[in-house]
Amino acid sequence: MRTLIARLTLAATVTLLPACGPRAGVNDAAGPIGPSPRANAALAYDATRGKLVLFGGGAATWLGDTWTWDGRAWQQESPALSPSPRGAAAMAYDPTSGLVVLFGGISGGSGATDTWVWNGTTWTQLHPSATPPATFGRAFMNFDPVSQHLILLTDPDQAGTPRDETWEWTGATWTLIDSHGPIGEGPGGLDQNPPAGVDPRPRVGGTFDPATAFGLDPVRNQLMAVQRVRYADAPVQGVVTWEWDGHQWAPLQTSSPAFPAVHDDLSDPVLAPAPDGRSVLLVDLHGAWQWDGTRWAPMPFSPPSRGRAAFAFDAKAGHDLLVGGVAATDPGGLYGDTWTWTGAAWQQAAGPAGRQAAQYPSSSPPPGGISQERAIAIARHAAAETEGPRIAPVIQARLARAGTFGNVSPTAATWEWGVSFRVDQTLVGHGPPGSPAKHQVHSVAVFIDYLSGEVLETSWPAPKILGGEGG
């Protein structure tokens, strides 16, 4: 029996260039200074000092700067110590200690597991005896009024293994209190009436992990998680709302309008209490919605559509703050603007104009796209559902401007992953007795949008530019 050895190569070097437009700390005609364009920044309200704190995020590279918002303007801080540059970190204010706590994130291409606190002047690293595992996706943190502790909800790790876990910060260490998140990942769908003895949490079957938002429901005074279920095709139920009672997650029965189907990796929503103190706001790539404790309803949204933004409520100023994110209408562009929601209207408060912040050189791939590992995982799923020979783990992946592989117009403002699978088959039993075994080589190519993760095309055999051979 032939032994196949996994081989993963990146045939094209990917270099991300800095965004065009104003840099942090430079005045711009569209508004006052503010953080440079970015996505996946951490943002939390520091109640002790009455300011919002923003850390890091992703642009051409991961960022490690610290900014504070006093309700009117941004100020860049100069701490003596800081966490390493990173994006997608979890951050929240701890009323018990009066400090802002930051955990994990994506740093240097891998998941971080360190814990830091912000005292208004500098960062200090803590060394708890136990810590959650590294997460390559987003993690979420918020103060739980029931347990009076910070609660951390993790996302899957870099290898794609589900790590949807719920942890508690005691002020000195991390404690695992639920080894499953609200929605797991794996084959299956949503079952509202599971058999006895079966974990009632629905599992997600499809190409993508659920897109999660996490925050406090001021109506119920409990933590809530909102998960936009992502499938390769349109989901039956586009959103699931969960409630944390201090011990476990339970789904809420809601009567809500259908959310737009989510097919991409950029729709990561963000959640924050509304200024009225009686509702919750959700913002993602497709718009904004308001939760009144029983149902979701669409709400006005003036800023340009975006995903992976930073969003939090400023209790002192009495408004919600939306910062940065990945542009929906200009693929790959990053926003560096700041918007406030007062309960009546959205107003741009700082930062460059959206289109200026969203411009990137067409000769380089934009930041915020899916990783090579993620592209291969999506391609595996797509190839497994395509008629053809069984796929073997011999893979090549390349990132190039759409059109390079011949399936999209070369002028399209899109970058794509081309992933080829190659399988060697030894066929026995064909031809007259004693005939030698036939050796055949098959290949398949899967083309994936670099930003959204959408499968664009599947082709047998793979084009030669990807190293595939027809058989």
Model confidence band, residue 456 (pLDDT cutoffs 50, 70, 90): confident
Q: Determine contact, residues 137/155, Cβ cutoff 8 Å.
A: yes
Percentage of the residues of the chain whose pLDDT score is greater than 70: 60
Q: What is the 3-state secondary structure (H, E, C) of 278-324?
A: CCEEEEECCEEEEECCCCEEECCCCCCCEECCEEEEECCCCEEEEEE
Who wins on pLDDT, 262 or 94? 94
Between the two ends of the chain, the Cα-to-Cα distance in Å is: 20
Pick the CATH number of 19-357 from 2.120.10.80, 3.90.45.10, 2.40.50.140, 3.40.1190.20: 2.120.10.80
For residue 120, the tally of other CB atoms under 10 A from its CB is 15
Nearest Cα to Cα of residue 366 among 20, 3, 110, 8: 20
Evaluate if residue 1 carries a pLDDT over 80. Answer: no
Evaluate if residue 295 carries a pLDDT over 90. Answer: no
Nearest Cα to Cα of residue 305 among 247, 259, 354: 354
Who wins on pLDDT, 394 or 15? 394
pLDDT in tens, 326-371: 876 655 578 899 999 999 999 999 887 555 555 445 566 666 677 7
Evaluate if residue 135 carries a pLDDT over 50. Answer: yes
Average pLDDT of the chain is 72
pLDDT of residue 30: 44
Q: Cα–Cα distance between 445 and 417 in angstroms, integer?
A: 10
Who wins on pLDDT, 25 or 318? 318
Task: Among 177-186, 210-219, 318-327, 440-449, name the one with the lowest average pLDDT.
Answer: 177-186
Evaluate if residue 277 carries a pLDDT over 70. Answer: yes
pLDDT of residue 220: 79
Evaluate if residue 222 carries a pLDDT over 60. Answer: yes
3-state secondary structure of 464: helix
Who wins on pLDDT, 446 or 131? 131
Which range of 114-118, 142-146, 197-201, 355-359 scores highest in mean pLDDT? It is 114-118
pLDDT in tens, 184-221: 443 333 333 333 433 344 333 333 455 677 788 877 78
**Domains of the chain by residue range:** 19-357, 365-466
Who wins on pLDDT, 160 or 404? 404
pLDDT of residue 405: 54
Evaluate if residue 70 carries a pLDDT over 60. Answer: yes
b/e burial code for range 242-251 (CB count within 10 A of at least 16 → b) = bbbeeeebeb
Task: Among 12-26, 103-117, 122-136, 154-168, name the one with the lowest average pLDDT.
Answer: 12-26
pLDDT of residue 455: 75
Evaluate if residue 468 carries a pLDDT over 50. Answer: no
pLDDT of residue 457: 73
CATH fold, domain 365-466, is Nuclear Transport Factor 2; Chain: A, (3.10.450)
In sequence order, what DSSP letters do the residues of 359-374 get, joined into one string? ---TTSPPTTPPPHHH
Q: What is the pTM of this model?
A: 0.68
391 φ/ψ angles, rounded to the nearest 5 degrees = -85, 135
